[in-house]
């Protein structure tokens, strides 16, 4: 039976990340050379769908908004997806936010306080480069909070995401899956290329040394927070072209499923035509 | 003598907008069919230049930022330029702001207060869809402030823009020039197409009836605020393809002129290679 790309990429329950092939091309019919054409077609569809979404936001005829949430180890390609997949649509319709180490002010609030502030408005496609999940990933691995507090956060995240999807939000959570070898190769490439040195941070190696702990933290986050209203998707990200295609295709599939109509005129068209003629 | 596109499009002093052809293709060598290829090449260059700018912002090796300021009558194409010209670069590097009717809070402050808040940070390409100039355009035409206050604003704008360019800002001001006939045709097209009704507002006709007043207000703004540090450019915008090309080409020309280098590594490359090898 034909299934959607979303269904094919969804993950939930107890999983072992090591069982997943980072170089899989799930749902893509063809080879790398075919992906450029497919991206062009996806770009046209995404552009149309995004404009319908935006139009409804502007016309206040709907409260729908979309949030593409990206998580993954360093070099897994969060930035690449924003550039090559999100970059296919009109930038006016995007609301991109990159979460860094929390500021002192943010730390004085609940961990979801800063997340809430950056949720997309109606009509927008939000993109989160890292997210609330950092607080159960680095938070867990680096023991930045008490175990009981980390435990509390999984349920708090589920409730928060439920409130978002209950109020017109469509949440697309993507874990960009790479192996430790994939990362080694990409970090080496950054070190070899002076035009990429600015992307490199010695702290990346410190995090890399905790690879297994991070993988385990991701497995727990997927087990606890892959819900019916906001499932996690595992994006095989060992091949950059597939990773970009998969996220663009997943976004297009979700937008298509909304059956967005153009908003009706809130004025009398014939009256306005007559007014225009007289100018 | 060959001149830059910026020099060809710059306007200053006393000008009559009616003397300018909205369908000119200043600086473009070829016909409409050649513009797609030129846009692809410009996209590649802009993408590279934008990444250099962004890299320096991230690495804190420079305070350079760029601001593309767009003004023009309804339907002149501010949105189209953001979609097709600014949309050529990585959306992570853009900071787009669309100025609407001031909020009550904004009205309690000086007119530049809200503008200042949305200036791009180092490494970013800001795009203003409308700007501080609204306060000497609609502000003048609709007499939203006392004449003495309107007069004060021209100098205040010049000082504000000087401070921006003195602190690493590159300001590219574009007036999108169309004729009253161009606008009539485009408003009629919006009324004829149900997928474009959401873009139409009956208030657009009210503003259209003040066309000559607005043209005069633009002429005064250009006379008073086309400075050495922030000249106005007149973009013939009767042909959409040329308008998009001209702004993309102008942006590329300004970025190219900055001779942006990739930031140097702030770590020891050999040490990091050795650390990586050992993981």
CA distance A14 to A16: 7
Of B209, B242, B204, B213, nearest to B84 by C-alpha is B242
Q: Are A78 and A91 in contact (CB under 8 A)?
A: no
pLDDT of residue B21: 98
Q: Is the pLDDT of residue B1 over 80?
A: no
**Percentage of residues of chain A with pLDDT beyond 90:** 97
How many beta-carbon contacts under 8 Å exist across A and B? 110
Residue with tokens 């790479």: A178
Mean pLDDT computed over A45-71: 97
Calculate how close chain A gets to B92, using CA atoms only, in Å: 7
Mean pLDDT computed over A221-245: 98
Mean pLDDT computed over A192-211: 96
Q: In this predicted model, what pLDDT tens digit does every residue of B188-220 receive, in sequence order?
A: 999 999 999 999 999 999 999 999 999 999 999
ipTM above 0.90, yes or no: yes
Q: Is the pLDDT of residue A2 over 70?
A: no
Mean pLDDT computed over A233-243: 98
CA distance B48 to B256: 10
**Percentage of residues of chain A with pLDDT beyond 70:** 99
Under the banding of pLDDT at 50, 70 and 90, the label for residue A33 is: confident
Beta carbons within 10 angstroms of residue B86's beta carbon: 27
Which of A48, A263, A274, A276 should be substituted to probe chain B, the one whose Cβ sees the most B Cβ atoms within 10 Å? A276
> Under an 8 A CB cutoff, do A267 and B202 touch?
yes
Q: What does B175-234 look like in DSSP terms, one character per residue? A: EEE--HHHHHHHHHHHHH-GGGGGG--THHHHHHTTHHHHHHHHHHHHHHH--SSS-EEE
Q: Which residues of A touch B188 (CB under 8 A)?
A: 273, 276
For A191, which of B199, B202, B276 is closest by C-beta distance? B276
> Under an 8 A CB cutoff, do B91 and A92 touch?
no
Mean pLDDT computed over B56-65: 95
Chain B: residues touching A (Cβ < 8 Å): 55-56, 58-59, 79, 82-83, 86-87, 90-92, 94, 96, 98, 129, 180, 184, 187-188, 191, 194-195, 197-202, 205, 208-209, 262-265, 267, 269, 272-273, 275-276, 279
Calculate how close chain B gets to A239, using CA atoms only, in Å: 20
Mean pLDDT computed over A127-146: 97
Calculate how close chain B gets to A263, using CA atoms only, in Å: 6
Q: Which residues of A touch B209 (CB under 8 A)?
A: 279
Which of A82, A90, A210 should be substituted to probe chain B, the one whose Cβ sees the most B Cβ atoms within 10 Å? A90
Mean pLDDT computed over A226-243: 98
Mean pLDDT computed over A176-180: 98
Q: In this predicted model, what pLDDT tens digit does every residue of B89-122 receive, in sequence order?
A: 999 999 999 999 999 999 999 999 999 999 999 9
Q: Is the pLDDT of residue B33 over 90?
A: no
Q: Is the pLDDT of residue B2 over 80?
A: no
Q: In this predicted model, what pLDDT tens digit does every residue of B123-137 receive, in sequence order?
A: 999 999 999 999 999
pLDDT of residue B30: 85
Residue with tokens 């979303």: A6
The lowest-confidence range among A58-62, B79-83, B111-115, B188-192 is A58-62
Q: Which residues of A touch B96 (CB under 8 A)?
A: 91-92
CA distance A199 to B55: 8
pLDDT of residue A83: 96
Q: In this predicted model, what pLDDT tens digit does every residue of B142-151 receive, in sequence order?
A: 999 999 999 9
What does the radius of gyration of chain A's CA atoms come to, in whole angstroms? 20
> Under an 8 A CB cutoff, do B200 and A267 touch?
yes
CA distance B46 to B40: 10
User: Can you tell me whether residue A261 is helix, strand or coil?
Assistant: coil
Sign of CA dihedral B212, B9, A90, B258: negative
Under the banding of pLDDT at 50, 70 and 90, the label for residue A202 is: very high
Q: Is the pLDDT of residue A1 over 60?
A: no
Q: Is the pLDDT of residue B60 over 90?
A: yes
Burial of A105 (0-12, 13-18, 19+ CB in 10 A): exposed
pLDDT of residue A227: 98
Which of A73, A92, A189, A262 should be substituted to probe chain B, the one whose Cβ sees the most B Cβ atoms within 10 Å? A92
Q: Is the pLDDT of residue B5 over 90?
A: yes
User: To the nearest whole number, what is the mean pLDDT of chain B?
Assistant: 97
């Amino acid at each position: 039976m034909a299934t959607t790309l979303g269904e094919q990429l969804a993950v939930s329950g107890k999983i072992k990340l090591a069982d997943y092939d980072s170089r899989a091309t799930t749902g893509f019919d063809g080879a790398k050379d075919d992906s450029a054409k497919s991206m062009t077609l996806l770009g046209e569809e995404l552009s149309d769908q995004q404009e319908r979404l935006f139009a409804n936001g502007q016309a206040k005829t709907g409260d729908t908004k979309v949030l593409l949430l990206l998580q993954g180890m360093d070099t897994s390609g969060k930035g690449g997806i924003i550039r090559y997949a999100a970059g296919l649509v009109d930038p006016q319709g995007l609301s991109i936010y990159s979460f860094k180490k929390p500021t002192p002010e943010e730390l004085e609030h609940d961990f979801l306080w800063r997340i809430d502030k950056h949720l997309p408005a109606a009509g927008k496609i939000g993109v989160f480069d890292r997210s609330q999940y950092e607080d159960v990933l680095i938070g867990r691995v680096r023991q930045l909070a008490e175990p009981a507090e980390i435990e509390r956060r999984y349920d708090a995240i589920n409730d928060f995401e439920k409130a978002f999807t209950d109020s017109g939000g469509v949440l697309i959570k993507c874990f960009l899956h790479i192996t430790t070898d994939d990362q080694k190769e990409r970090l080496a490439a950054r070190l070899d290329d002076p035009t990429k040195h600015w992307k490199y941070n010695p702290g990346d190696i410190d995090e890399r040394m905790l690879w297994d702990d991070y993988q385990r933290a991701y497995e727990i986050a997927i087990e606890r927070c892959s819900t019916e209203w906001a499932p996690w998707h595992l994006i095989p990200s060992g091949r950059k072209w597939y990773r970009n295609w998969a996220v663009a295709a997943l976004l297009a599939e979700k937008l298509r499923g909304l059956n967005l109509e153009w908003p009706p005129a809130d004025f009398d068209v014939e009256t306005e035509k007559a007014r225009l003629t007289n100018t």
